[in-house]
Each structure stands twice: as structure tokens, then as C-alpha cells.
Amino acid sequence: MKHILLLFSLFVTINATVFSQADVKSIVDSGNDLVKLKRFDEAMEKFDEALDYLPSYAPALDSKANLLITLEDYKGAGKIIEDAIKKNSDYPQFYLTRGIVNIHKGKYDDALEDLNRALDLGQGINDKLFENKVYVNRGAAYQKLFLNEEALNDYSKAIQLNDKNPNVYLYRGFLYYQTNEYEEAVKDFNVVINLDPENPFAYYNRGMIYIKQLKDVEACDDFHKACELGNNNACKMVISRCINLKTQ
């Protein structure tokens, strides 16, 4: 009888754990939805709530770290990920996130090491969106190291995996801008604007190319738009170059 009761108790405990993880996943998903809506304080509350239930739940730790990256708290994000990797060194998303943190910190070689590790660990999960993010960020790290060919190769791989990610076109467009391939750069910034019409960097960068091409009216249209979207550099360009120019 005791044996039966023990088995029943174990069965109940296992099922409670399963349901608990499902509930926590739902909380994390809600937090990620709030991030998309830019309701960051509410999102952080959701991630903290999830971690109150399951302190080592990897998706919650990773989502919280990524939110801190969005808030430009790279030190806080890095601490969360460092602690998380010590507890779970085989979770590929942690290395992607730490790679992004290292890019923001200017540690590009460390970023490449992390992103390569993320790809190695991610081979078994068959997640194209994850691979896309890794290639985009590894391309960005290569670009920062002036390894342009490697960067372009990674951007091409990223687009093959997901051609709806505006970041890859933004980074590749800036690479084309740096190498004076202005027509190719404009094409990429146009794609960014089509995919993400509220992206100020695409308007600002396209405006800078139009300046190079002596298209002042088009440039100032883009600077005005980027400034409206919160890009301070674009606002400076409006004052210095566009204040007396009649825009379309």
C-alpha cells in the first residue's frame, strides 16, 4: 500500500512540474509579446515572475537578458548570461545572447567565439530563426573587424534562412555604404524600410547616401523622418543641412 501511495505521489509531483513549466512558458511568452509592444517594465515583471517560479528556467533568463540589451544595460545582461551558462552550458541561445553583449562591449573576437559555439550547439535543434540571428550577429562582428567578405557571406546565409529580418539588410546596407557601393546600400535600406517602416537608422543611413549622391531633397526627407523617429544624428543633419531647404 505504501508503495502504491509513493508511486501516486511521484506521479502527481511529475505532473505538477510539467504543468508548472507550461505555465511558466506562457508567462515568458507574454513577456516577449510585451517587449514587441515596447512595454518594457511590464515585460520585465513577467520575466521576474517566471523566474520566481523556476529560477533556472533558461528561456526566462535569456529573455530577461535580451530585454536588458534592448535597454542598453549590457553589464546587467552579461551578468545574467554568465551565471546562466555556469548552470546550463549547453543552451545555445545563451551563447548567442552573450555574443550580442560582447559586440556591444567591443569584444568582437569573444563575440565570434560565442557565436561559433551557438552554431555548434544549435545544430540539433533545427531552428532557422535562431540560426538567422546567429549569422546576422556573427556578420556584424566580422564587419567590426573589417572582415568584409566573411561578413557578406554570413549576411547571405542569414537571408537564405529568413528574408524577413530587417537587421540583416540594415547591417549589409551599412557595409555597402562603407565600401562606397551606394546603389546596393540604398536597395538594402529600402528593404529595411519596407519590412520595418519605423526604423530610424534605415532612413538616416539612406539620407547619408543621398548626400553623397548630391540628392539633398531626398536626403532631407529621410533626415526629417529619422529625426521624428528619435534619431539624434538625423536631427543634427536637419539643423545643419535642411533647415532652409524646401522638402517634398
In a domain, 154, yes or no: no
Q: Is the pLDDT of residue 236 over 70?
A: yes
- Count of alpha carbons within 13 Å of 119, Cβ hemisphere only? 16
Which comes out higher in pLDDT, residue 6 or 130? Answer: 130
Q: CB 194: neighbour CB atoms within 10 A?
A: 11
Q: Is the pLDDT of residue 2 over 60?
A: no
Do 160 and 193 contact (CB within 8 A), yes or no? no
In a domain, 6, yes or no: yes
Residue 190 CB contacts under 8 Å (≥ 6 apart), including other chains:
206
In a domain, 47, yes or no: yes
In a domain, 160, yes or no: no
Q: Is the pLDDT of residue 219 over 80?
A: yes
In a domain, 51, yes or no: yes
Q: What is d(CA 115, CA 148) in angstroms, rounded to the nearest whole number? A: 17
Domain that holds residue 29: 1-84
Instruction: Using pLDDT thresholds of 50, 70 and 90, give the confidence band for residue 246.
Output: low
Nearest to 151 by CA among 118, 211, 103: 103
Instruction: Using pLDDT thresholds of 50, 70 and 90, give the confidence band for residue 16.
Output: very low
Instruction: Using pLDDT thresholds of 50, 70 and 90, give the confidence band for residue 228.
Output: very high
CATH code at 73?
1.25.40.10
pLDDT attached to residue 248: 47
Number of domains in the chain: 1
Tell me the residue length of the chain. 248
In a domain, 78, yes or no: yes
Q: Is the pLDDT of residue 9 over 70?
A: no
Please give the mean pLDDT across all residues of the chain.
91
In a domain, 33, yes or no: yes
pLDDT attached to residue 124: 77
Number of DSSP helices (H) and strands (E) in the chain, helices first = 13, 0
Percent over 70 (pLDDT), the chain: 91
In a domain, 208, yes or no: no
Summarize pLDDT for 158-205 with one digit per residue, the tens. 999 999 999 999 999 999 999 999 999 999 999 999 999 999 999 999
pLDDT attached to residue 196: 96
